[in-house]
């Protein structure tokens, strides 16, 4: 029997993207998977819109028919799709197994999915790390899956993406984490491979090139937009996401812990392709939120994972790079970004901060 993969998708105030993502995921050609949708206490009734979509009452609003990736999420799959709704507490206790089995036996003769969709409401914004950990705890408590796949809600997937990830994962018992090739949703050009061979091609070629790539290559980390983790190693080595990071850099942390501390393999599946709307969920460029967390979390990770020599090298490069940015922002009058960078340094060095910055 094929390994079962639990696909965890985290939503926060972006239900339109999430619905498009779900439509594409439910078209994938791997047969043994279950989708777990986590809502991080959205303030815009996201969960109600997503439930309505599963019931066949809410239309898919993205993308426009002219978009080149339109066919990955259209036409809409058959509705209604059976789903079960859990609170965080119910989910972390493993849900209601009898109810899930009842749904599965009664509702799936003509359904698109083999298992019911699982919807989980966390009740508060736990960040990327905390929200995904709720899903992982549900999967572990239920104890019927072999892998969890963390998939960003602002992605759409190639139909063969999961099949390729599993094909690679089972090649070697020491493979703990498998990632995908990431392409830009708007241009279809590669934005992440994490292969030394392909770095010079990043952003210059479309995914057609990957048809000639090898099946996989070892790397130090994969993109958190599509990251499949072997459940056996989550249990054995406590490979949960670090909730102190809250948002950003979690995949760097978990990959380095798996690889450097436990000698496990991290690989990229060369033929697994997804398309990512960069920054759709949290912003990018000059938005305070990612600037704060990326700066703070890099400092935290340097203290957590690097030896003294590596930490010194980190600071030699890191401080000048931040100073250059601060000078550019000063010229543009972006004092808000300078202020947020100060807080990020302060909180990183003092090992505090986190959720309260969301109100900045």
Which strand (E) or helix (H) includes residue 1? none
- What mean pLDDT is predicted for residues 92-102? 89
Residue 41 lies in a domain: yes
Give the pLDDT confidence score for residue 197 in this predicted structure: 47
The answer on 206 and 270 residing in a single domain is yes
Contact 268/262 with Cβ under 8 angstroms? Answer: no
**E strand segments, the chain:** 5-11, 33-39, 83-87, 117-121, 147-152, 155-157, 175-184, 190-192, 216-218, 226-230, 265-276
Q: What is the mean pLDDT of residues 231-239?
A: 96
Find the domain containing 203 and state its range.
Answer: 5-276
Number of domains in the chain: 2
Structure tokens at 10: 């985290």
The alpha carbon dihedral of 62, 66, 71, 72 has a sign of negative
Shared domain check, 178 and 238: yes
Q: Are residues 136 and 263 in the same domain?
A: yes
Tell the burial category of 145 from Cβ atoms under 10 Å away from its Cβ (0-12, 13-18, 19+): buried
Let me know if residue 281 belongs to a domain: no
User: Same domain for 198 and 170?
Assistant: yes
Whole-number pLDDT of residue 91: 97
354 and 272 assigned to the same domain:
no
pLDDT digits (tens, 9 = 90+) for 173-228: 999 999 999 999 999 888 876 655 455 455 545 555 566 567 899 998 999 999 99
Q: What is the pLDDT of residue 188?
A: 87
Say whether both 20 and 135 belong to one domain: yes
Residues 258 and 117 both lie in one domain: yes
Tokens, residue 21: 């993502």
Q: Clarify whether residues 61 and 176 are in a common domain.
A: yes
Q: Mean of the pLDDT values across residues 1-13?
A: 96
Residues 228 and 119 in one domain: yes
Model confidence over 338-354: pLDDT tens digits? 999 999 999 999 988 76
Look at residue 282 in the predicted model and tell me its pLDDT: 52
């Amino acid at each position: 029997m094929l390994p079962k993969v639990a696909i965890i998708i985290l939503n926060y105030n972006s239900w339109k993207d999430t619905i498009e993502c779900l439509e594409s995921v439910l078209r994938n050609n791997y047969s043994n998977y279950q989708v777990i949708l986590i809502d991080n206490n959205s303030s815009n009734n996201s969960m109600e819109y997503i439930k309505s979509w599963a019931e066949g009452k809410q239309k898919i609003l993205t993308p426009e028919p002219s978009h080149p990736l339109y066919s990955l999420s259209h036409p809409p799959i058959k509705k209604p799709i059976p789903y079960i709704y859990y609170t965080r507490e119910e989910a972390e206790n493993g849900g209601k197994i009898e109810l899930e089995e009842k749904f599965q036996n009664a509702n799936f003769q003509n359904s698109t999915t083999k298992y019911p969709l699982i919807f989980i409401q966390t009740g508060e914004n736990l960040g990327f790390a905390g929200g995904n950990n709720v899903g992982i705890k549900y999967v572990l408590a239920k104890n019927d899956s072999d892998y969890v796949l963390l998939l960003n809600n602002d992605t759409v997937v190639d139909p063969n993406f999961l099949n390729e990830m599993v094909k690679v994962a089972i090649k070697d018992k020491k493979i703990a984490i498998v990632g995908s090739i990431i392409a830009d949703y708007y241009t279809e050009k590669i934005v992440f491979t994490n292969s030394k061979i392909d770095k010079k091609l990043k952003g210059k070629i479309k995914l057609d090139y990957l048809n000639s790539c090898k099946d996989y290559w070892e790397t130090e980390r994969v993109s958190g937009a599509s990251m499949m983790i072997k459940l056996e190693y989550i249990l054995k080595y406590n490979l949960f996401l670090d909730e102190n990071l809250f948002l950003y850099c979690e995949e760097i942390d978990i990959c380095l812990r798996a690889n450097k501390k436990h000698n496990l393999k991290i690989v990229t599946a060369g033929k697994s392709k997804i398309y990512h709307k960069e920054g759709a969920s949290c912003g990018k460029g000059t938005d305070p939120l990612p600037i704060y967390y990326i700066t703070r979390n890099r400092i935290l990770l340097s203290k957590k994972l690097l030896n003294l020599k590596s930490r010194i090298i980190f600071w030699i490069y890191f401080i000048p790079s931040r100073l250059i940015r601060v000078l550019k922002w000063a010229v543009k009058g972006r004092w808000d970004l300078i202020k947020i960078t100060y807080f990020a340094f302060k909180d990183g060095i003092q090992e505090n901060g986190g959720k309260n910055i969301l109100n900045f």
